[in-house]
Amino acid sequence: MAAALETAAGILATCTATVAKIKRCAIRQGGVVASLELVRAMGAQPLQLDDRLITVKRGDFITILERFGIKLNDLEVKSLFSWLDRSAEGFFSVSEFASSLRHIADPQRRSLVRRAYLGLPKDGSTSRVPLTKALATLNFNAHPRVRMGAVDAATVATAHKDMFSPARFPDGSCSWSEFELILAGVSASMDSNSHFAAYMLGVWRIPGVHSSVIDEFLQSPEDPNVSMTSSSGFEAKADRLRRLALKQALDVSIEEHARVVLSNPGGSRAVGCALRAEDPNHTGFLPLSVFLDKLSTLRLYFPAPDLPHTFLGVKVTGGDVQIDYLTYLCALNGTLPAPRQAAVDSAWFAMAGTLSSVTIHQVISRFKGSVVESGSGGTRKGASMSSGVSNNAAGLKGDEVSQFFDAWDERRAPSARVDYFEFEEWFFPVSKQSKTDAAFLQQIERQWGF
């Protein structure tokens, strides 16, 4: 068993490096939109990025990569297909590959991209972003390179209009998956967390953040964990070392929180609901005292009460410094491996389609194998109108059902509606407790019936 796990870990490590290589080479050849162009070339056209049924064959995959100037060696190709082609049929899901390209490792960067998306106008009740309206909200003058005099705002505006051009999005809108895929390319093109934060806060006008925060990030071009040069002054070195020690202490604390939270099937949802309940305006920020109090009710603590303030504290509109709990949740839960992320995306898409949110009742019904269609008054997927429990529920274990209903109890939920990110939250403990991608996918398909 140990040898098998080592082999699986080795394959995953090789795949992670291979995906990073593909993304890096693609950006070098075609800019930050290259990842999107790559998956489009593999068959995932607009509105299809979350469709797991769209596949690419091994030979076509290699040919398309070479067309983009990307050459993989035999080990890289073999490892990638061992990871994504679990049935060894010679093809894999394009959506799973796209999920690997969408991956943003740093939790602060992930939360900034999420905040940007949530702050953009949406097309009615759908989750799709109308691009003309979205581009009109951007502030190109606040781009870090414009602020530093390296380029002019018109050049930056042209680049962003090209990212989201009608040629790439014929219907004039983009989904969360497509938006994240492009912004993951932007993230990969910026080495400094500080400059990426300044870019997101400035250009994308992240709601709720005080404008002075952009200047603070621009004045800190290096990240706290970057090695110091010999030319650094003594005080600067001491401050960097102090911040590095505090950052390590915070990381250790969050890792300990994750160990506790992810061992409980409803752990991530419990933490998320507790924090969101204190944030009725959905800002993603809370006062430090409220943040610590809500975590303490779940027996989650920091060694020093002001520790989160150092790296999670953000000056919000109005001038107060509050805790960015969205970044905390991103750090707490981590990320899902590409095949698992694609499965969760598919489960959501099967339930919500292009809607931006669904009711908790719809989530519960889907878990039991039935979905109440919004506005239709009908049901699908094997619903039992008499008992509210479908035939599909008979295949679930008793503890699975009880844990799910306990976590999704409407009386504890801060809102009667659930968006994609809240739905995704449920699956982090599930993933943590699943040793293999195959086991995770089997469980998701059995529980959600897609």
Structural contact between residues 140 and 160, judged by C-beta atoms closer than 8 angstroms:
yes
Q: Would the pLDDT of 340 be above 50?
A: yes
pLDDT tens-place string over residues 354-392: 899 999 999 998 986 543 344 333 333 333 322 333 444
Digit-coded pLDDT (tens) for 19-50: 999 999 999 888 999 999 999 999 877 766 66
Q: Are 294 and 227 in contact (CB under 8 A)?
A: no
Is residue 45 within 8 Å of residue 2, measured between CB atoms? no
* pLDDT number for residue 172: 93
Measure CA 339 to chain center. Answer: 14
What are the tens digits of pLDDT across the range 230-241? 445 666 677 777
Confirm if 24 and 72 have CB atoms less than 8 A apart.
Answer: no
Average pLDDT value over all residues in the chain: 85
**142 pLDDT band (50/70/90 cuts)?**
very high
pLDDT for residue 235: 67
> 278 φ, ψ to 5°?
-90, 5
The pLDDT of residue 266 is above 50: yes
Please give the angle made by the CA atoms of 148, 151 and 152, to the nearest 5 degrees.
Answer: 105
What pLDDT digit, counting tens, does each position of 56-89 carry?
999 999 999 999 999 999 999 998 998 888 888 8
Residue 158 pLDDT grade (very low, low, confident, very high; cuts 50, 70, 90)? very high
Going by their DSSP bridges, the two strands 129-130 and 173-174 should be labelled as antiparallel
Q: Measured between alpha carbons, how far apart are the two ends of the chain, in Å?
A: 31
Query: Which residues have CB under 8 Å from 247's CB, separation 6+?
Result: 224, 225, 310, 311
- By the 8 A CB rule, do 35 and 184 touch? yes
- Name all domains of the chain by residue range, CATH numbers in brackets: 2-102 (1.10.238.10), 107-218 (1.10.238.10), 234-331 (1.10.238), 338-448 (1.10.238)
Angstrom CA distances, 68 to 36, 65, 186, 408, stand at: 12, 5, 18, 45
Instruction: Please give the pLDDT value at position 357.
Output: 94
pLDDT in tens, 147-156: 989 999 999 9
* pLDDT band per the 50, 70, 90 thresholds, residue 310: confident
Virtual CA dihedral for 269, 274, 276, 279, nearest 10 degrees?
Answer: 180
Instruction: Provide the pLDDT for residue 389.
Output: 39
| Portion of the chain with pLDDT greater than 70, in percent | 85
Radius of gyration of the chain (CA): 22
The answer to whether 51 touches 95, Cβ cutoff 8 Å, is: yes
- How confident is the model over 209-222, as a mean pLDDT? 69
**Distances in whole angstroms, Cα of residue 380 to Cα of each of 117, 423, 446:** 31, 20, 16
HEC profile of the chain: CHHHHHHHHHHHHHHHHHHHHHHHHHHHHHCCCHHHHHHHHCCCCCCCCCCCCCEEEHHHHHHHHHHCCCCCCHHHHHHHHHHHCCCCCCEEEHHHHHHHHHCCCCHHHHHHHHHHHHHCCCCCCECCEEHHHHHHCCCHHHCHHHHCCCCCHHHHHHHHHHHCCCCCCCCCEECHHHHHHHHHHHHHCCCCHHHHHHHHHHHCCCCCECCHHHHHHHCCCCCCCCCCCCCCCHHHHHHHHHHHHHHHHHHHHHHHHHHHHCCCCCHHHHHHHHHHCCCCCCCCEECHHHHHHHHHHCCCCCCCCCHHHHHHEEEECCCCEEEEHHHHHHHHHCCCCHHHHHHHHHHHHHHHCCECEEEHHHHHHHHCCCEECCCCCCEECCCCCCCCCCHHHHHCCHHHHHHHHHHCCHHHCCCCEEEHHHHHHCHHHHHHCCCCHHHHHHHHHHHHCC
The confidence band for 395, taking pLDDT boundaries of 50, 70 and 90, is low
Q: What is the pLDDT of residue 26?
A: 92
Q: What is the pLDDT of residue 6?
A: 47
Whether the predicted pLDDT of 4 surpasses 70: no
